[in-house]
Structure 1
Amino acid sequence: MLVSRYQPILYLQYFLLVLDLVFNSFNEMLRFENVILLVLYVIQDVCIVFAVIVVFLLFFNTFIFQAGLVNILVNKFRVAISVTFIYFILCVALHVWGMTLRWDDPNIYIWDVTGYLVLHVFQRTVAVLYYYYYKRTALKLGDPRFYQDSEWIRKEFERRR
């Protein structure tokens, strides 16, 4: 893909990652009003879905996908796709549980609920993996080898037969 064409997409992907990081970092500071927190959670979840859509649109744009060799592409990015979907599920679960716990009283202390604390720590740990694999995938999809016929694609195809 041309650098001038891929650069705005890469910036969009970085923006979505930074936005998610900001939401994860500062959402507890905005818990004084349930509606504000709910809107931020919805925006964060929509941004994650949008980030996945951007990656899949890049997949659809590759030569490998257009040649019908989807299994090569899926195998190459299997971990990144899995981590992204696990992260999304953990975010939604954490957001729903957190809003359920503090809907009646936004200032209630919820950190003594063991399951919620475990989910929170697990979600934040998977978030680090998500940031790493998403950025790695975004950078790998900028490689021109994915957008033209090349020898490594033929070798991969022959190896998978």
Structure 2
Amino acid sequence: MKLSTPRYTFCLFFQLIFIFCDLIFNCVSLFPKSRDGLLVLFIFQDLFLVLSITTMLMTFFSTYLFQAGLVEVLVRKFRAAGSVCAAYIVASVTLHAVWLLEKWADPESVSTPMLIFLFTLQRCLSPWYYFFYKRAALRVSDPRFYEDIDWINQQLQTH
């Protein structure tokens, strides 16, 4: 049985849009020279990150596993995705804060080693974030998370 509810399709569509927007923001963030341009760009990027995580959590909350109180199975299945998403969000927000603080103090400043490190870390985490987030969004559509009691019992017995 294939899960193809309009609500899930709607959530998946927006999850993919949020990933695409984050990718675009990462590409465009090198171009604004003004502090105000960077501030607006970073606010929107962080907003889309929060919206993407909220949408992912909504899909988790709608599963039978979550509603039945079997959260540990969901945590076990999506631990890697959760860890990578959390690390990426922390790296992004930290990068944005440090970058803006440096630009606000001196608009003509040259990048510091800390900013270069944070920039590199955030850019290296981004492909992992995109991969794990998309993978989790597609995996949570598995009908077993919504109805297959035998599969759920098997998951609980193996751990």
Q: Please, what TM-score do these two structures have when normalized by structure 1? A: 0.91
Number of aligned residue pairs: give it: 157
Corresponding residue number in structure 2 for 1:33 = 34
Counterpart Cα distance in 1 of 2:143 and 2:108 = 51
Corresponding residue number in structure 1 for 2:15 = 13
Q: Aligned with 1:109: secondary structure?
A: coil
- 8 A contact 2:91–2:118 mirrored in 1: yes
Q: Which portions of structure 1, spanning 4 or more consecutive aligned residues, are displaced by more than 3 angstroms? A: 104-108
Counterpart Cα distance in 2 of 1:40 and 1:142 = 32
How far residue 3 of structure 1 moved from its aligned partner, in angstroms, is 4.0
Alignment CA distance shift 1:118-1:107 (3 Å): same
How far residue 77 of structure 1 moved from its aligned partner, in angstroms, is 0.3
Per-residue CA deviations over 1:46-102 (Å, capped at 9, x if unaligned) read 111111111111111001111111000011101111111111111111011111111
Counterpart Cα distance in 2 of 1:18 and 1:153 = 33
Check if 1:115 corresponds to 2:114.
yes
Check if 1:4 corresponds to 2:3.
no
Corresponding residue number in structure 1 for 2:49 = 48
Q: Aligned with 1:29: secondary structure?
A: coil
- In structure 2, runs of 5+ residues without a counterpart are none
Q: Please, what TM-score do these two structures have when normalized by structure 2? A: 0.92
Which deviates more, 70-79 or 144-153?
144-153
How far residue 116 of structure 1 moved from its aligned partner, in angstroms, is 1.5
Corresponding residue number in structure 2 for 1:158 = 157
- 8 A contact 1:60–1:66 mirrored in 2: yes
Q: Aligned with 1:103: secondary structure?
A: helix
